[in-house]
Amino acid sequence: MDIVTSHATKHKRITILSITAVVAMGGLLFGYDTGVISGSQLYFTEYFQLSNAEQGWAVSSAIYGCLFGALLSGYLTKKISRKFTLIFSAILFILSAWGSGAADSLSVLAFFRILGGLGVGMASMTAPMYIAEISPPKERGQMVSYYQLAVVIGFFVVFVVTYFIGNSGAQNLSSLANAELHTRNVERGWRIMFWSELIPAGLFFILLFFVPHTPRWLMLKGRQSEAREVLAKITSSAEEARLELEDIALSFSDTKQHHRVTLATKGMGFILFIGIMLSVFQQVTGINAILYYGAEIFSNALGYGPEDALKQQLWTAGVNLIFTFIAIFTIDKWGRKPLMLIGTTGMFLGLSILTISLYTQQIGILSLLAILLFIGSFAMSLGPVVWVLLSEIFPNTIRSIAMAIAVAAQWLFNAIVANSFPVVNGSQLNNETFNGALPYLIFATLSVITFIFVWRLVPETKGKTLEELESIWTGEKVFHSADEIEPDQD
């Protein structure tokens, strides 16, 4: 490879990474928007004098917005483009951050939280799709995993921000000063926590105007010359751009040799089923129960008081972040399927150890390690890999609607788990018969089912072009350009 070619390849890689970084900010705002409620609800609950039911509605209202946002994005990504759907989600993030902080009643707060949820739902479906459509096949897994990394970073950043807004230095204050700090947080601190999201949301909105439309959406709309220009910027050579453009065009064609793929096409129902079940398993194995109710779980396991919630969440956030990096650097080497099998095994072991320690009341450091093993295993498997698979298994012509359905299922079961966990955890059966271990026994069992599902039904997609995957699902002949490019991928 000569110096000029090497420089051009490096420049195009930087271009792809830059675009991915901007689009992945949708994931950061996903984490930020869903995480900001954790710290702020301690104070706005007191400010509005909310009942338990009202507090639950204030906290969970955004999740239902996420569900409808994911469904709506299926139409928007196809109609107005992946790019403009992300811009619309950025506007919703901005409105939600401002309105939530300015709310003067529960109904107003819930309204703006639902708006934020719509934005999260749209971004959670659109950002991985966009990244997958501009990524080189050999690096697509890593690129889409950056989205999950951004989600984790968003959770971590908002946790640090809310800490400094509401609690920084509190341990060094007198009782009177602490009381004054608490009063200030109840009156205004929670509003600043919501308003802090305006900074990343505004940056996301501005930067999105500098990213291109994806070539596959442009081809969907018949804008071939524009698609060719985008491909020229993100592929390693003119020949590769030409071949990829031909593949994309063929995937959208409707001829006797290649029928246009719809949800009714043979094999598509099965692929949609896999996408939906991956989304369901990502939620029902318990990750959001652990994240949403982590402070309570850590307190029960280790005997910490509420004032130690910061340390507990830092452990969780740190492990989540570290193991997400492991997924990023191994997903295109090991493959999607091996990572999920290893991860679900670790999740089962962590949940099983936690179940046994709670059931036998041998709680302590082993319980902490079990929770961290579960979180780390999830972070390197179901966390990022499900997003990668959802962004790549669906053919071009149905990707928007199919991915919207799968992501909507994810948010639906997120809500179900979030609402049912405290009920199961506080039940008489759990406390008297299982000593508090029942929820984790259920999650461990579902981890085994997930392992079997992945092992038997989930295909490996590593290193294949999106069009090549489509040909596999539909039983069509593999596209000629995929065949021609294949030797360079070895």
Reported as a single tens digit per residue, the pLDDT across 87-144 is 999 999 999 999 999 999 999 999 999 999 999 999 988 999 999 888 887 788 888 8
Query: Measured between alpha carbons, how far is 473 from 389 in angstroms, rounded to an integer?
Result: 14
- Could you tell me the residue range of the domain that residue 225 belongs to? 216-260+473-489
pLDDT for 89 equals 96
Q: Maximum CA pair distance of the chain?
A: 80
Instruction: Report the CATH number at residue 89.
Output: 1.20.1250.20
Q: Is residue 426 part of a domain?
A: yes
Residues 112 and 163 in one domain: yes
- Rounded to whole angstroms, what are the CA distances from 462 to 12, 361, 389, 466? 22, 44, 10, 10
Residues 204 and 225 in one domain: no
The answer to whether residues 251 and 327 belong to one domain is no
In the block, residue with structure tokens 């205004």:
188
Q: Of the ranges 137-146, 325-334, 456-465, 466-475, which is most confident? A: 325-334
Q: What is the pLDDT of residue 473?
A: 64
| Residue 256 predicted with pLDDT over 90 | no
Q: Yes or no: say if 289 and 418 are a contact pair by the CB < 8 Å rule.
A: yes
Residue-averaged pLDDT of the chain? 83
pLDDT class for 255, splitting at 50, 70, 90? Answer: very low
386, part of any domain:
yes
> pTM of the full predicted structure?
0.79
pLDDT category of residue 201 using cuts at 50, 70 and 90: very high
* Phi then psi dihedrals of residue 442, to 5 deg: -65, -45
- pLDDT over 90 at 232, yes or no: no
Average pLDDT on 282-286 reads 92
Residue count of the chain: 490
Q: What is the pLDDT of residue 12?
A: 79
Residue 176 maps to a domain: yes
Whether 429 maps to a domain, the answer reads yes
Mean pLDDT value of segment 388-399: 83
- 459 neighbors 345 (Cβ within 8 angstroms): no
The verdict on 317 and 252 lying in the same domain is no
- 268 and 340 in a single domain? The answer is yes
> What pLDDT does 101 receive?
94
Q: Which pLDDT score is estimated for 114?
A: 94
Residue 466 included in any domain: no
Give the best-scoring range by mean pLDDT among 3-17, 199-213, 430-444. Answer: 199-213
Average pLDDT (344-357) is: 95
Lowest mean pLDDT among 220-224, 321-325, 421-425: 421-425
Give the chain's domain count.
3
Tell me, what's the pLDDT at 484?
37
Residue 486: per-residue pLDDT: 37
In this structure, the answer to whether residues 411 and 276 fall within a common structural domain is yes
Does residue 240 sit in the same domain as residue 288? Answer: no
Q: Using the predicted structure, report yes or no on whether residue 259 has a pLDDT greater than 70.
A: no
198 and 223 housed in the same domain? no
Q: What integer pLDDT is reported at residue 358 of this predicted model?
A: 87
More confident residue, 17 or 168: 17
pLDDT at residue 194, rounded to an integer: 94
Task: Give the model's pLDDT for residue 455.
Answer: 94
Residue range 53-64: mean pLDDT, rounded: 81
391 and 436 fall within a common domain: yes
Taking residues 332-357, report their average pLDDT: 93
| C-alpha distance from residue 363 to each of 300, 369, 423 (Å) | 8, 11, 22
The predicted-structure confidence for 473-483, as pLDDT tens digits, reads as follows 665 544 443 33
290-321 as b/e: b if 16+ CB within 10 A:
bbbbbbebbeebbeeeeeebeebbeebbebbe
Measured over the CA atoms of residue 296, residue 301, residue 303 and residue 307, the dihedral's sign is negative
Q: What band does 376 get if pLDDT is binned at 50, 70 and 90?
A: very high
pLDDT for 342 beyond 80:
yes
312 against 421, higher pLDDT: 421
Same domain, 146 and 252: no
Q: What is the CA radius of gyration of the chain?
A: 23
Domain-embedded: residue 114: yes
Same domain, 206 and 302: no
Q: How many CB atoms lie within 10 A of CB 459?
A: 14
Q: What is residue 268's predicted lDDT score, i.e. its pLDDT? A: 78
Confidence of residue 207 (pLDDT cuts 50, 70, 90): very high
Residue 238 located in a structural domain: yes
| pLDDT of 378 higher than 90 | yes
Q: What is the pLDDT of residue 226?
A: 92
Q: So what's the pLDDT on residue 253?
A: 66
Confidence band of 169 (pLDDT split at 50, 70, 90)? low
Cα of first residue to Cα of last residue in the chain, in angstroms, is 17
**pLDDT above 70 (res 298):** no
Distance CA 28, CA 150 (A): 4
Same-domain status, 15 and 163:
yes
| In-domain check, residue 196 | yes
